[in-house]
Chains A and B, each alone.
Chain A
Amino acid sequence: MTNGTEPTRTTVEPSDDAPNTPAPGEEVVIKLQGVNKWYGQFHVLRDINLNVRKGERVVVCGPSGSGKSTMIRCINRLEEHQKGDIVVNDVTLTNDVKAIEAIRKDVGMVFQSFNLFPHLTVLENLILGPIWVKKTPRKEAIETAMYYLGRVKIPEQANKYPGQLSGGQQQRVAIARSLCMKPSIMLFDEPTSALDPEMIKEVLDVMTELAQEGMTMVCVTHEMGFARSVADTVVFMADGQIVEMNTPKELFANPKEERTKQFLSQIIQHH
């Protein structure tokens, strides 16, 4: 890294009145403490501290390459962090495979590129996890799958293959696939970035509905409208650090850091 030329930036520690600080009695379900990660020499995550309470909706935004995706991928161990602690549902992430599988069972993830299994029908995509991971009886798994397909408003596509669906439909199937595992936490990694503009809304609608039901969500997205209306907390990241976090209202109206202002002004120019 170019340490000499880089402007020094202080990581914002959640202070007592910041919204991210857990109130007494509120359960913290995701806890990142001093998390660091390197790709070779490249320092992708620097001293990340983040607490997510049960039922909290956190939106993570920031310029590309800022480490947003890497951070949420560390939460279900798709990426390994090298320093610091990540605690999810009271389980600390280590190399213990059983613990990782247990966390993944309870943490759903939706990807930018959908990642549906193309050789299986929509319904088979949905029941695979429940049947093999949770040992749910097949009949019950199908019932659950059809319920969630109804929730994402495409029950009629159950027997099609992913390749026959539009991007928006595929992403909604991917959300339903995660929900079928009855997770307590959902991670979204730029869920609308690969979609055509007219399909973004249908996916955001589903996510908004999910948020209203009290699902704990961590969502990396550039959809500022979604952040504004749904998020409890918006986290702004740049260069592997959390630069600023606050309620969406505060963060968008009164960004404290210069870097945040700069980013927001660019976003607003284009929206």
Chain B
Amino acid sequence: MRTDERELRNPAYTHTEEPDEPTAGHPPTRTWDLLGWTRKHLFSSIPNTILTLLCLYLLWLAIPPVVDWALLSAVWSSDTADACKVEGAGACWAFVEQKHRFILFGLYPFGEQWRPMVAVVLFIGLIAGSCWPGFWNKGLLAAWAVGLTVCGILMWGGVFGLTYVENSQWGGVPLTLILSVVGIVAAMPLAVLLALGRRSDLPAIKTVCVTFIELIRGVPLISVLFMASIMFPLFMPEGVTVDKLLRAVAGITLFTSAYLAEAIRGGLQSLPQGQYEAADSLGLNYWQKTRLIILPQALRIVIPPLVNQFISTFKDTSLVIIIGLYDLLTTAKTALADPEWRQFYAESYIFAAALYFCFAFFMSRYSQYLERRLNTGTRR
């Protein structure tokens, strides 16, 4: 009743209610009341009421067992799998407790795993810092140079008394982060050049860019990774080897850049012709025009598809399993090879999925923040 009453009120009602403010320039305040909201949105008609009750029933069926399995009956800690194998036991989080070091860091020497740990924290810190527009200056580049060097030293070792760890022993979260972040960061400039090249007036450049983009988009990432890991060494002269991890990163970079290029091209095309003409009429040359006028606007427009591709690339790094790299998903799978814990695959994959979700969700939220922030004052 209360909601209906309020809605039926004459708008003029607010004027009489606030005689001190003759301007009455603000809308009537609305308080949220549970009963009214429920009646209006959930039980407004007979079909709606039936749907509401049906949904409530399904939730009642689904939620309690899940809560019971994941939380109430879960085995949180145990040295052996036996505790999880008793009748009525829920999720075996003890598996994660036992295996988390392997899932997180893969085959990295057990005693040295603090190194990838510190490297990952540092790396995530760098990324988080870079997300804050207040830090976008030359100091940030220096921070990245120092940070990446420190990460490299920690991961490889071989100096300062750290034992050398070959990168074939890297795995888990550090590997997934390296593949995706390096892949994305390297793909961006390449993608910008490809997008510009595809719109170039010079036929040679245009042809090269179109061919590259269409070729790469035409094949699955798995085949690009296969090419990088198996075909590529065949074409190299005797004795020349390129690191497997590097080849995987290169494959991911090329693949991602083709998709990013198309997203960026969309942004370039959506800019009004007048922007190009205004820049031209000031006498700016091609690169000045592109860097100062076109790209800042075009990239801003394509933030959503870019982030979409970033998230996709991040998750696609799990395909490196086929060339024998131990990324996060592979380590989660390999942890199940232990016969004692073999049956707890749900727990293992849920743990890996939760980690993937944290990163992907952060990217998604950050892109929304960035869009809002960059659009301030520039709405047309």
Contact B281–A117 (Cβ < 8 Å): no
Please judge, given known A-B contacts A101-B285, A118-B378, A163-B377, whether A132 and B277 are in contact too, CB under 8 Å: no
A27 to chain B, nearest CB (A): 22
Q: How far is the CA of A181 from the CA of B297 in the complex (A)?
A: 23
Contacts of B281 in A (CB 8 A): 76, 78, 104, 107-109, 178
Q: How far is the CA of A89 from the CA of B379 in the complex (A)?
A: 39
Contact B300–A101 (Cβ < 8 Å): no
Contact B274–A119 (Cβ < 8 Å): no
Query: A116 within 8 Å of B by Cβ?
Result: yes
Contact B278–A115 (Cβ < 8 Å): yes
A52-101, CB < 8 A from B: 76, 78, 97, 101
Of B88-96, B220-228, B288-296, the one with at least 4 CB within 8 A of chain A? B288-296
Q: How far is the CA of A117 from the CA of B296 in the complex (A)?
A: 10
Please judge, given known A-B contacts A163-B378, A164-B377, whether A117 and B293 are in contact too, CB under 8 Å: yes
Q: How far is the CA of A104 from the CA of B285 in the complex (A)?
A: 10
Which of the residues B272, B283, B300 comes within 8 Å of A119, measured between beta carbons? B300
Query: A226 within 8 Å of B by Cβ?
Result: no
Interface string of A107-139 (1 = CB under 8 A from B): 111010111111100000000110011000000
Closest chain B residue to A130, Cβ basis: B282
Query: A160 within 8 Å of B by Cβ?
Result: yes
Query: B380 within 8 Å of A by Cβ?
Result: yes
Contact B274–A115 (Cβ < 8 Å): yes
Contacts of B280 in A (CB 8 A): 76, 78, 104
Contact B282–A181 (Cβ < 8 Å): yes
Q: How far is the CA of A78 from the CA of B297 in the complex (A)?
A: 21
Contact B377–A161 (Cβ < 8 Å): yes
Q: How far is the CA of A19 from the CA of B379 in the complex (A)?
A: 47
Contact A118–B274 (Cβ < 8 Å): no
B6 to chain A, nearest CB (A): 35
Contact A111–B283 (Cβ < 8 Å): no
B366 to chain A, nearest CB (A): 20
Contacts of A133 in B (CB 8 A): 282-284, 288
A119 to chain B, nearest CB (A): 5
A94 to chain B, nearest CB (A): 16
Contact B300–A132 (Cβ < 8 Å): no
B275 to chain A, nearest CB (A): 6
Interface string of B260-274 (1 = CB under 8 A from A): 000000000000101
Which of the residues B272, B277, B288 comes within 8 Å of A78, measured between beta carbons? B277
B136 to chain A, nearest CB (A): 15
Contact B283–A181 (Cβ < 8 Å): yes
Query: A37 within 8 Å of B by Cβ?
Result: no
Q: How far is the CA of A116 from the CA of B378 in the complex (A)?
A: 11
Query: A105 within 8 Å of B by Cβ?
Result: yes
B246 to chain A, nearest CB (A): 37
Which of the residues A97, A111, A119, A181 comes within 8 Å of B278, measured between beta carbons? A111
Interface string of B286-316 (1 = CB under 8 A from A): 0010001100110010000000000000000
Name B residues whose Cβ lies closer than 8 Å to a Cβ of A.
272, 274-275, 277-285, 288, 292-293, 296-297, 300, 377-380
25 of the cross-chain contacts (CB-CB < 8 Å) are A78-B281, A101-B285, A102-B283, A107-B281, A108-B281, A111-B274, A113-B274, A115-B272, A115-B277, A117-B275, A117-B279, A118-B297, A118-B380, A119-B378, A128-B282, A129-B283, A129-B284, A132-B288, A132-B292, A133-B284, A133-B288, A177-B282, A178-B281, A178-B282, A181-B282
